[in-house]
Structure 1
């Protein structure tokens, strides 16, 4: 009896060691995959705050929470199982699907730019009362949340593709575990940062009402600077959609051996890398700018085609 119990305990210990080793493998794979996707994560964090801009303070965090839940649904209901199935049965389809998503990002960013230019040309501005009423409506909120979740679907798809490519040589269980950890960690990180950004003005108001003169001055400065920060993030978010979407298309062209545009951008990037100061940064900026130009051209073509369709609303 004692020997049987000892054997059972030995089996349990062996299973525990195996589970711990597997968990270590999953954690290591997730860390490697997440680090590869960090560039798209930064883009995601820059894009999302724009969808919570202009609403009343009490609606900001609920909107971010709705978008975060939508992001989790995107990842766990569609992207994660889809990525694993494609990897197992149709790896050839991953690149075309990503290119369609990249084209959508380019279209959305280009349309935002055109709308901003048309609004500036018209010189029409809504009164604060009308703007506040419009932005507080449930309909406008639902539209913005839906738009944010659609954009998240594309960005999260790129994150999943990068992460999956990083662990493609690992067993299926390790791939699945790594993608789950990456999905949870990056969603929590991105939307935690977004929630902090959209509430920074409230933090500034709180600081401006108490503490030392330095604290109150810092709080007032924070409140005054946040509109400019949010506007900057809106611009960065639109640019991010262009360079991420354009980058997806550039890599897709290279994948299909249509090398003219990718080779030209990569050549410029390599030349920038040899700059005497901050060569790596210059190389990245050059590639991002080249990708953004491609994204703007593709987005412009799609916008033009869609606006020629009879009956399509502006």
Structure 2
């Protein structure tokens, strides 16, 4: 009986050792995943501040917290388990879902570009008051948070899918730990940095006070003056990143697009920076074109649906 107990203890010790050795790979897998999703993280970081700018400064941190909380909940409770289940039961579906998300990013990016250049996006000063939609600050905040969470959901789905792809050959315990750690780390990193960006002007005002040294005050004033321009530039970068990331996700899932893109990159491998810039430019342009096509299809569908609804209403006695 003692021999049997010792054998059982040996088996338990061996199992514990194997589990510990397996979990030792977690930091490596997390670092590998973080590197692979860097483009999406940049997109998420650059896009989010525009949802906060223009609202009550006292509400900025609260709004960022709301978005970050929902982002983390989506990653940990919905997207992570969904990636595990799909990876086990229907792994072939994941690339297509990613491409749908990429198409949505392209559409959102195109809408941002269109709003910058379209005259119809600006209301004329002498326009009739009834054309203006008046909403309360609370409604505007709710609308901004909802829009930010929707965009973040797509980006988070891409992050969790890529994270899962790096651990498909690992034990289930490793997969779960890596997905949870990646979700927490990236959410804290993205929204912590976003909070710093949004509150940088307040920091500048604090540094510009007379009780500080001249150099500190000068840096503070410079920070306050530069932040509006910085946020505008960051918004442009976020829009470009949205188009670039969305198009890259779609190109990665379609071999007839992925192979030419890789060939283009390899042709400029002697100048890596130039190769990356050309690739990003091609993807951003492609994403804009795809977004425009999707916008036209949605617009046409909306018109047809509206006409059908109106026709049905007129035919009713």
TM-score normalised according to structure 1 size:
0.85
Give the aligned partner of residue 295 of structure 2: 303
Aligned to 2:278: 286
The reply to whether residue 164 of structure 1 matches residue 164 of structure 2 is: yes
Shift of 1:125: 7.3
Deviation at 1:31, TM superposition (A): 2.1
Question: Aligned pair in 2 of structure 1 residues 140, 123: CA closer, same or farther (>3 Å)?
Answer: closer
CA pair 125-56 structure 1, distance change in 2 beyond 3 A: farther
Residue 253 (structure 2) pairs with residue 252 (structure 1): yes
CA contact (8 A) 1:27 1:181 kept: no
**Alpha-carbon distance change, 222 to 165 in structure 1, aligned in 2, over 3 angstroms:** same
Q: Larger Rg: 1 or 2?
A: 2
CA contact (8 A) 1:83 1:164 kept: yes
Contact 2:115/2:121 (CA < 8 Å) preserved in 1? no
Cα distance in 2 for partners of 1:135, 1:216 equals: 39
Number of residues paired by the alignment? 294
How far did 1:39 drift?
2.1
Partner of 1:3 in structure 2?
none
Q: Which moved more, 1:8-17 or 1:263-272?
A: 8-17
Q: Structure 1 residues 13 and 58, CA, compared in 2 at 3 Å: closer, same or farther? A: farther
Task: Provide the secondary structure at the position in 1 that maps to 2:254.
Answer: helix
CA contact (8 A) 2:204 2:222 kept: yes
2:261 maps to what in 1? 265
CA–CA separation in structure 2 for the residues paired with 1:267 and 1:298: 21
RMSD (Å), alpha carbons = 2.8
Is 1:53 the counterpart of 2:43? The answer is no
Q: For 1:62-81, what aligned pairs fall within 5 Å after superposition?
A: 62-81=62-81
TM-score, normalising length from structure 2? 0.84
2:221 aligned residue: 220
Deviation at 1:156, TM superposition (A): 1.1
Partner of residue 188, structure 1: 188
* Post-superposition CA distance 1:273-297 (Å, at most 9, x none): 22xxxx2222222222121122111
Closer, same or farther in 2 for the Cα pair 1:8/1:218, shift >3 Å? farther
**SS across alignment from 1:192:** helix
Equivalent pair of 2:30/2:181 in contact (CA under 8 Å): yes
Query: 1:28/1:270 Cα in 2 relative to 1: closer, same or farther (>3 Å)?
Result: closer
Partners of 1:79 and 1:157 within 8 A in 2: yes
Query: Deviation at 1:18?
Result: 5.3
State how far apart, in whole Å, the 1-side matches of 2:221 and 2:124 are. Answer: 30
Where does structure 2 lack aligned partners over 5 or more consecutive residues? Answer: 1-5, 127-133, 308-317
**In the aligned structure 2, how far is the partner of 1:167 from the partner of 1:174?**
7
- What displacement does 1:9 show? 9.8
The question of whether the paired residues in 2 share the 8 Å contact of 1:30 and 1:182 is answered with yes
Q: Is the 8 A contact 1:56 1:136 kept in 2?
A: no
Unaligned runs of 5+ in 1: 1-5, 127-133
Structure 2 contact 67–149 (Cα < 8 Å) conserved: yes
1:68 Cα deviation from its structure 2 partner: 0.2
Taking the aligned partners of 1:52 and 1:305, their CA distance within structure 2 comes to 30
| Structure 1 position 185, deviation (Å) | 0.6
SS at match of 1:78: helix
1:20 CA displacement: 3.9
Say whether the 8 Å CA contact 2:106–2:287 is kept in structure 1. Answer: yes
Tell me which residue corresponds to 1:131: none
SS in 2 for 1:273: coil
- SS in structure 1 opposite 2:47? helix
